[in-house]
Amino acid sequence: MTFAEILELHPKPWRVDRSTILRCIQECIDCLASCTACADACLSEEDLPSLVRCIRLDLDCADVCASTERVLIRQTEPNTRLVWTTVEACAAACGACAEECERHAAHHEHCRLCAEVCRRCKAACEALLMALPPFQA
C-alpha cells in the first residue's frame, strides 16, 4: 500500500524502529477490516444467537484498531505514554476478540480467519511495546 511509502517520507520521523511500527499499523488495518467483516458475517448466520459475544468483541476490536492505526501513523511529536497505553489497549482488544472467535472457529471459517488476524495484530502490538522508549508511569 502507498501509505507505507508516505510514512517513509516523513520530514521528522519518530526515532522508534520504523519497520516495527509499520508492521503494527498494517495488522491494525487488516484487523479493523476483518473484525468488521466477521461481525457482519455473524449477523447473517443461522446460529446468530450464539454469536452475540463474538459480534460485540468484533465491534470493539475494530474500533480500537481504528484509533490505534491513526495514532501510530502520526510521527510528528508523539507522546510516548499515549502511544504505549493505546497499543496496550489494542493488544487487549485483539486478545479478547481472538479468544472468542476461536470458540466459533470450528463452525465458522470467518471466525477462524478473524481469530488469526487478531492473534497477529496482538503479536505486532506486543512487539511494538517492546520497541517503544521508556516513559514515567
Residues that bind its own copies (CB under 8 A): 1-3, 5-7, 9-12, 25, 29-30, 33-34, 36-38, 40-41, 43-46, 48-49, 52-53, 55-57, 59-64, 66-67, 69-71, 73-79, 81-82, 84-86, 88-89, 91-93, 95-96, 109-110, 113-114, 116-117
Half-sphere exposure of 21 (CA within 13 A, CB side): 22
Work out how close the CB of 123 gets to its own copies at its nearest, in angstroms, rounded to a whole number: 14
Work out how close the CB of 130 gets to its own copies at its nearest, in angstroms, rounded to a whole number: 17
> Residue 122 is which amino acid?
K
In angstroms, the first-to-last Cα distance of the chain is 35
Comparing CB distances to its own copies, the nearer of 46 and 134 is 46
State residue 107 phi and psi, 5-degree precision. Answer: -100, -25
Work out how close the CB of 124 gets to its own copies at its nearest, in angstroms, rounded to a whole number: 13
Is the CB of residue 101 less than 8 Å from the CB of residue 54?
Answer: yes
**C-alpha–C-alpha distance, residues 47 and 55, integer Å:** 12
Lookup: cell for 8: 517513509
Is the CB of residue 114 less than 8 Å from the CB of residue 97?
Answer: yes
Comparing CB distances to its own copies, the nearer of 69 and 128 is 69
Comparing CB distances to its own copies, the nearer of 113 and 127 is 113
Work out how close the CB of 119 gets to its own copies at its nearest, in angstroms, rounded to a whole number: 11
